[in-house]
Amino acid sequence: MAGIEETVISAGIDVGTTTTQVIFSRIKMKNTGGFGSIPKIEIVEKTIFYRSRTYFTPLISEEEIDENKVREIVEKEYLAAGVHPDEVAMGAVIITGETSRKRNANAVVHALAELAGDFVVAAAGPNMESVLAGRGSGAEALSKKQNCVVANLDIGGGTTNICFFENGKILDTACLNIGGRLLKITDNRISYVSKSLEPLLGKEGSIIKQGAVIDGEVLKQIEYIVSRLCRLLEQAVLLDTREDVFEQMVTSQAITCNRIPDIITFSGGVADCIKEKHEDRFPFGDIGCLLGKKICTSSLFKEKKSGSASETVHATVIGAGNYSMEVSGSTIEYCNCSFPFKDIPVLSLNVEKEQLYAITADMKRKLTVFYSEYAAGSQIAFAFKGIACPSFEEIELIAEGIGKAVIEEYSPAQVLILVMESDMAKSLGQALRRRLPRENAILCIDHIVCGQGDYIDIGAPAASGKVIPVVIKTLLFSE
């Protein structure tokens, strides 16, 4: 066991507001526990071996993704990379930005999941996307290297995802309806105006409207709107006082940690427009370049030390392929499970030394509340911190309480999924197997932190079945 080492293929597929991309990586896992120690299998190396070209995300209309064309893109890239879906063990498919609001976003994710194989699939919401972009851009690593607060602004076509990192740890996230394709220009006319701009345009009388010719007055108004968007970004990272309209531009939540960043980095498509010079104002048929130039002259650059992101337009897809996954501890227990498990809601369970006799009641109470909103028998996962170095008697007591609730409340088709922080999954799982019918499905994993309101995706066992890949997310789709 001490020398166990395995390399698997991870895929990242990002269907964004503006672009669609695919990457493939090799993820090396190794037992770092040392001879004679409890196995500790960790990801020790990540190497991207294939990047697709960047495609414009195909749309049928402003409300609908072209599912067939997206599928064709992904199939083409699998073929070009020489990767078969059966070879993919980890990774994520994510729908980001305004694309996550399209009416068939859910269907697209599931269509890609069938194509991509049985790796874990995660449809990113704003919080998760902010973290993935921040990790993929290198901002997380930069904050750890510099021992400071780094804010990464991932500015795409429809949204800006912000993540604050402090010394390598997530401090806060935010998302605003600010992006380079909120206005589209075709043949010197405005061809699209996003609803996200309405708070800045006013209810009536704006000359920024579909079909308007880009004359001097319209151009002046567009530049004014771009300036407003830039000021809102300054306010988003706490460089200026937030104006009333700011809250109307917030997608999910604003930064609330009250920490002014030491370094600001930029990723996403607009990041490549910040310092690049284009003679044409609208080289990509949108306002991305105008927004990039305005950012370059703003306090985001003047007042703060602007750091260089290691990745810009590829940041989110790299985050999906290389940073979306966690691996469980290697002292786990599972039986009768059909992997993967996707979009499983998480409930918290109180498992503390002074509360062990109340586990059955706590579990049954939370199941009752859950079944009032979901169909009885719906799959669920229970998460808890666990007990450090539990005794045999404590493990038996926990298993007794959980087992009783399962026998009384679970349907035969439900899998008992327990996710815990402390290193106790194997012993607890074995104790539960002695108490539950032989045909019951049990999955106990540890070294994973999640809680009430999260959703969890659980992939097939990796590293010779010793660890389980996991994605934890807090939002699936924006309404």
Q: What is the pLDDT of residues 456-474, one digit of tens each?
A: 889 888 777 888 888 887 5
| CB crowding 158-167: b at 16 or more within 10 Å, else e | bbbbbbbbbe
Domains of the chain from N-terminus onward:
5-125 (3.30.420.40), 139-309 (3.30.420.40), 331-462 (3.40.50)
- Bigger pLDDT: 113 or 256? 256
Looking at residue 465, its pLDDT comes to 80
Q: What is the pLDDT of residues 139-185, one digit of tens each?
A: 999 999 999 999 999 999 989 999 999 999 889 999 999 999 999 99
Pairing of strands 415-420, 441-445: parallel
Looking at residue 321, its pLDDT comes to 76
Looking at residue 254, its pLDDT comes to 93
What integer best gives the mean pLDDT of the chain? 87
**Model confidence band, residue 442 (pLDDT cutoffs 50, 70, 90):** very high
- Between CA 332 and CA 426 the distance in angstroms is 4
Whole-angstrom CA distances from 185 to 203, 218, 286, 431 are 21, 12, 6, 64
In the predicted model, is pLDDT for residue 135 greater than 70? yes
Q: What is the mean pLDDT of residues 104-128?
A: 71
In the predicted model, is pLDDT for residue 280 greater than 80? yes
Of the CA atoms within 13 Å of residue 167, those in its CB half-sphere come to 1
In three-state secondary structure terms, 110 is helix
Most confident of 127-141, 314-328, 450-464: 127-141
Q: 435 burial class (0-12, 13-18, 19+ CB within 10 angstroms)?
A: middle
In the predicted model, is pLDDT for residue 41 greater than 90? no
For residue 386, which amino acid is it? G
- Between CA 369 and CA 356 the distance in angstroms is 21
Percentages of the chain per state (helix, strand, coil), in multiples of 5: 35, 25, 40
Q: What is the mean pLDDT of residues 207-216?
A: 92
**Model confidence band, residue 1 (pLDDT cutoffs 50, 70, 90):** very low
> How far is CA 200 from its chain centroid?
29
Q: What is the mean pLDDT of residues 296-317?
A: 81
Q: What is the pLDDT of residues 241-274, one digit of tens each?
A: 999 999 999 988 899 999 999 999 999 989 988 8
**Model confidence band, residue 33 (pLDDT cutoffs 50, 70, 90):** low
**Model confidence band, residue 119 (pLDDT cutoffs 50, 70, 90):** low
**Model confidence band, residue 103 (pLDDT cutoffs 50, 70, 90):** confident
Q: What percent of the chain has pLDDT over 70?
A: 92
- Between CA 439 and CA 384 the distance in angstroms is 25
Residue 177 contacts by C-beta under 8 Å, 6 or more apart in sequence?
Answer: 158, 159, 194, 196, 249, 250, 251
Looking at residue 475, its pLDDT comes to 43
**416 beta partners:** 442
How many Cβ atoms are within 10 Å of 412's Cβ, its own excluded?
9
Q: Which residue has the tokens 């997206």?
A: 70
Q: What is the mean pLDDT of residues 279-293?
A: 91
Q: What is the pLDDT of residues 367-386, one digit of tens each?
A: 998 888 888 788 999 999 88
Looking at residue 43, its pLDDT comes to 80
Planar angle of CA 277, 281, 282, nearest 5 degrees: 110
DSSP-H helix ranges across 251-391: 271-274, 288-296, 299-302, 315-318, 359-373
Q: What is the mean pLDDT of residues 76-91?
A: 89
Cβ contact 459:117 at 8 Å:
no
- Between CA 55 and CA 323 the distance in angstroms is 22
In the predicted model, is pLDDT for residue 477 greater than 50? no
